[in-house]
Amino acid sequence: MSEPPNHAASTKQSYSSEVGNSGYFFPHLPISCDSVLHFCHPPLSSISMVVTGYLDDCTCDVETIDAFNNYKLFPRLNELLQSDYFRYYKVNLQKPCPFWEDNSHCGMRDCAVQPCSSDEVPDGIRAGSYKYSEEANNLAEQCEEAKRLGAVDDSLSKETRQAVLQWAQHDDSSDSFCEADDIHSPDAEYVDLLLNPERYTGYKGPDAWKIWNSIYEENCFKPQNVKRPLASGRGDDGGHMFYKWLKGVCVEKRAFYRLISGLHASINIHLSARYLLQDSWSEKKWGPNITEFQQRFDEVLTGGEGPRRLKNLYFLYLIELRALSKVLPFFERPSFQLYTGNQSQDAEMKHLLLEILHLAKSFPLHFDENSFFAGNKEEAAKLKEEFRLHFKNISKIMDCVGCFKCRLWGKLQTQGLGTALKILFSENLIEKIPESGPSYGFQLTRQEIVALFNAFGRVSTSVKELENFRNILQNLR
């Protein structure tokens, strides 16, 4: 899901395309080639280093995150996400757009998603079974009791029963930051995330712009008279008015914008890192597209916006990392299992999962979420609900994305971030989780667990890809 990159007006150039012997693709930039070395590169003046230094509203710096992620967390997380429990995600890609008439679906083959056949998904996941869980056995008994007691409800009026049902649904959704798919819908299908990777699909132009414009303009608390930097078709003041407004709003609204901008940056890094470089009858070649990366993040080409976008990516990383550190008690319980039906592999993956969560907890410079929704309790509760509903609205917008692969990853990553926010704002409930037995106050569904770790996996991969781009750019100097 790629919004066309915006360029500073002063950087317009005549464009050409070339593939150098380096194996990297530089479309749209003038090419300089060494006739002796047979090496082509974009002009050195357009190459700038990736971000460094401290992040706003944080005590953490980019370098600390890079070292922690790239050499400690990323390899372990990548291994976890290869496992059966985390690679299969159930999603409904057929839901209609709830906000505008949208019949335009991307017809390009790279936009397509190949769902799993029923025999590809492990029995334990498909059956929704929790064979190894003591908690599940207790809950099964309670369900039987609930069914028995449910007979009494037949004596209630239709209106009363409907009201009770609505209250139950409200209780289930009151802590949710996302519009979750009904996984029991006939349109919901399992997708193997490893066979449908997030990468460049060619989906761009007005349809993609409409998605991001709706997210930023209608859901990020921004007044209509405040213009986003580099927004298409608008006079640009270098972002002065926008950043003056952003600096003046409360920390919660500022964080909301930075999370969305960070998610957008992460997606664009994936598209730049896994770009279609060659498409012939014999093979497809995917790899890093230096120019695509520069057009979106280079300080000069973006009028200073690129580094801000990348810093917002690091802010998103800190928020999701903090959620993982907070949710450790939920996964540490002996009754919780990553059930797929393969007992030895399930035990091994739970061990790896706990290793990752303990590693996340050990991070030395965590974001302090206690600054969120502080002060007057009534005003804080109102702001928190507004925050939740705005994000939930963004999760609904994902059903308007015309590219099915972009829709898949957009839905997964918004659900993952929404789950992270749910965790951060459920700290009191998590603290009350018993060491054994069922957790009534705080629950995560399998969908939320798979989305949470895969979404963080995407952000972690983006941080790792930045190191790759940094090395490539250094070698071109």
Which residues are annotated as catalytic? 403, 406
From residue 442, alpha-carbon distances to 331, 334, 354, 438 in Å are: 12, 16, 18, 10
Tokens of 397: 């917008």
228 is in an annotated binding site: no
52 is in an annotated binding site: no
- What is the Cα–Cα distance from 175 to 421, expressed in whole angstroms? 9
Bridge partners, residue 275, by sequence: 287
The DSSP secondary-structure symbol of 113 reads -
Contact by Cβ (8 Å): 337, 130: yes
Residue bearing tokens 């009858």? 281
Contacts of 400 (CB under 8 A, 6+ apart): 97, 98, 99, 100, 102, 210, 211, 214
Count of Cβ atoms closer than 10 Å to residue 459 Cβ: 27
212 is in an annotated binding site: yes
| Burial of 256 per CB tally in 10 Å (0-12, 13-18, 19+) | buried
Which helix (H) or strand (E) segment is 287 a member of? strand 284-287
100 is in an annotated binding site: no
From residue 26, alpha-carbon distances to 40, 49, 289, 306 in Å are: 9, 17, 6, 18
Contact by Cβ (8 Å): 385, 106: no
DSSP 3-state assignment of 205? coil
DSSP 3-state assignment of 164? helix
| Burial of 206 per CB tally in 10 Å (0-12, 13-18, 19+) | exposed
Contacts of 84 (CB under 8 A, 6+ apart): 122, 125, 340, 342, 345
From residue 24, alpha-carbon distances to 27, 42, 422, 473 in Å are: 10, 11, 40, 11
264 is in an annotated binding site: yes
Tokens of 1: 């899901």
Which helix (H) or strand (E) segment is 470 a member of? helix 446-476
| Residues that constitute the known binding site | 199, 201, 212, 261, 264, 296
| Residues that constitute the known binding site for FAD | 199, 201, 212, 261, 264, 296
